[in-house]
Structure 1
């Protein structure tokens, strides 16, 4: 925590796969779980979008 308001604040470190979790509080772990769940949902949405695009392209080329 910064002693003075003009001191730069430490940014929380992003989650790294395999990092030591023993120093994190229960609240920090919950925050990271929520962050990772949101990221998984974003990745799954992108994967679905890419699958839809691929299916449309395959259907277009099968017409001939």
Structure 2
């Protein structure tokens, strides 16, 4: 997970070589779920952006890959 210039948290996962992303999403591991700014296919992976919040939480991006 990384932080962008606006303080948002960003998590990206890529599909392995030879496969194609067909969908994706996210899962909160800790803390209270907070609103998600975006959850989209980017390239051959999935990226989730969560706005900066005073509610600490940890999340992961999930990609569904086929091939």
Which bin holds the TM-score, normalised by the shorter protein? Answer: under 0.3
- Larger relative helix fraction: 1
- TM value normalised by structure 1: 0.18
Larger Rg: 1
Higher strand content, 1 or 2: 2
Higher relative CO (CA 8 A, sep ≥ 6), structure 1 or 2? 2
